[in-house]
Amino acid sequence: MDRIFISPGPVYEPHLSENDYLWARAYHAAGIGKEDIVLNAFSYHMVAAGLTFHGGLRRVGATVIPSGTSSSQQQVQLIRDLNVTAYTGTPSFLMAIIQKAEELGYDFKSDFRMRRACFAAEPLQPSLRKRFEKEFGIDTYQMYGATEVGDVAYECSEKQGWHICEEVLVEIVDPETGKKLPKGCLGEVVVTRFNSIFFLFRFGTGDLSKITESPCPCGRTSYRLNGIEGRVGDALKVRGLFIAPSQLKKIQEIFKDVKIQLIVARISHEDILTIRLEPKEASINTIPIEEKFRTVFKDICTVKIDRMEHVQHGTLKEDDRLMIDERTWK
C-alpha cells in the first residue's frame, strides 16, 4: 500500500495501487499525451483526488503542474508562465480561472495555449461546456468516478456517453431493492472494482444513470453510461421506472414555449402519470404539441404519460415543484 488518505466521515482509506491505470484511459481518450503540460487543480492535500489524477496524467506521459487549490490568480500565472496546454479539475474552477485571467486583462483564447480540459467531481452543464468550447477554444471531456472506487467511466471524442472502464463492474439497480434493473432503465449506479488493496463490493454511488450498449463510432467496444441524471433522492419511481428532474429539464429545452409539471398519483393500486403543460405566453396554444410531447417524453423518460392537462398561462407559480408525488402508501 503506498498511501492513506482521509475521506469525509472522517474515514481513513488506503489508496489504490500506484500500478493501477486510474484515469489514464480517460486522459488518453481526451487526446492528452507526452506533448502536454497539464494543470492539475484537484486538491493534493490529504484527499485522494490530486494524486490519483496526477498518476493518470503521468501514465499517458503528460507533464503535470500540481497546482491543486492555489488561488485563481496563481493558476493564471502558471498557465501563462509554463505554457499550460490542458486543465484537469472541476468546471466551475476553470471558469473562475478564466474570469480571473480576463479581469487581469488577458484574452484567454489568444494569449494562452490551453486547448483541452478534463473534468470530474462536478457535473458539466451543457451551457458551460458550450462557453468553454466556443468562446475559449477549449475541448472539454467528462470523467466519472468516486474516491472509493477510482475511475468508472470517461468520455471519448464522440461525446455520446461515457465508456465504462475495464477494471470495474457497473450495475444499474433499483436503489430500494438493490436489484439489477432491465436493460436501458434509469437507476442507481453501483460499482464493484476488482483489486487486492481496497475491495468494495457493489458500492452505491447515489447517482442515477442508464447504460447504452450500442457500439460507439470511436471504435471502443465497452458499454457506456449515459451521463448522470441526478441523485437517487431526486428521482420519482413510476411503475417501476425512475424519472429524474434532469430528464424533464431536457424535455423543457426541446419545448421552450411551455412550462412542465409532472404529477404521480395512485389510483386503484396503479401509478397514474399526469403532465401539466402551461404556455409561457398567453397567446400560445399547447394542444397541438401534445402528440409530439408524448413521443419525446417516452423517448427520454421511457415511461408513458397517462394524462395531459393543458393549463392556462399563469397557473404554475415560479416556486412550484417540477415533480409532485401524490401517492400515499397505506
Residues counted in the chain: 330
125-130 contacts: CB < 8 A, separation 24 or more? 125/91, 128/91, 128/95, 129/91
- Is residue 171 part of the contact set for Zn ion (CB under 5 A)? no
Least distance (Å) from Zn ion to the CB of residue 212? 10
- Is residue 226 part of the contact set for Zn ion (CB under 5 A)? no
DSSP string, 274-309: EEEEEESSTT---GGGHHHHHHHHHHHH-----EEE
- Is residue 218 part of the contact set for Zn ion (CB under 5 A)? yes
String marking each residue 231-250 x if it binds Zn ion according to CB under 5 A? --------------------
In Å, what is the CA distance from 219 to each residue of 53, 152, 212? 25, 19, 14
How far apart CA 168 and CA 309 sit, in angstroms, is 44
How far apart CA 33 and CA 103 sit, in angstroms, is 31
Least distance (Å) from Zn ion to the CB of residue 90? 23
Cβ proximity to Zn ion: between 196 and 214 the closer is 214
Least distance (Å) from Zn ion to the CB of residue 181? 23
Cβ proximity to Zn ion: between 156 and 289 the closer is 156
- Is residue 200 part of the contact set for Zn ion (CB under 5 A)? no
Least distance (Å) from Zn ion to the CB of residue 251? 26
Least distance (Å) from Zn ion to the CB of residue 200? 27
Count of residues that bind Zn ion according to CB under 5 A: 5
> In the chain, what is the greatest distance between 2 CA atoms, to the nearest angstrom?
69
How far apart CA 54 and CA 253 sit, in angstroms, is 37
| Residue 213, number of CB atoms within 10 A of its CB | 9
Q: What is the DSSP letter of 96?
A: H
Cβ proximity to Zn ion: between 220 and 250 the closer is 220
Least distance (Å) from Zn ion to the CB of residue 69? 32
Cβ proximity to Zn ion: between 38 and 156 the closer is 156
Element (DSSP H or E) covering residue 87:
strand 86-89
- Is residue 296 part of the contact set for Zn ion (CB under 5 A)? no
Cβ proximity to Zn ion: between 14 and 215 the closer is 215
Least distance (Å) from Zn ion to the CB of residue 218? 3
Q: What is the DSSP letter of 122?
A: S
Question: Cα 278 to the chain's mean position, in Å?
Answer: 29
Segment lying near Zn ion (by CB under 5 A), choices 187-195, 206-214, 218-226, 287-295 = 218-226
How far apart CA 148 and CA 13 sit, in angstroms, is 8
String marking each residue 130-169 x if it binds Zn ion according to CB under 5 A? --------------------------x-x-----------
- Is residue 216 part of the contact set for Zn ion (CB under 5 A)? yes
Q: 81: Cβ–Cβ under 8 A, 6 or more apart, which residues? A: none
Interacting residues with Zn ion (CB under 5 A): 156, 158, 216, 218, 220
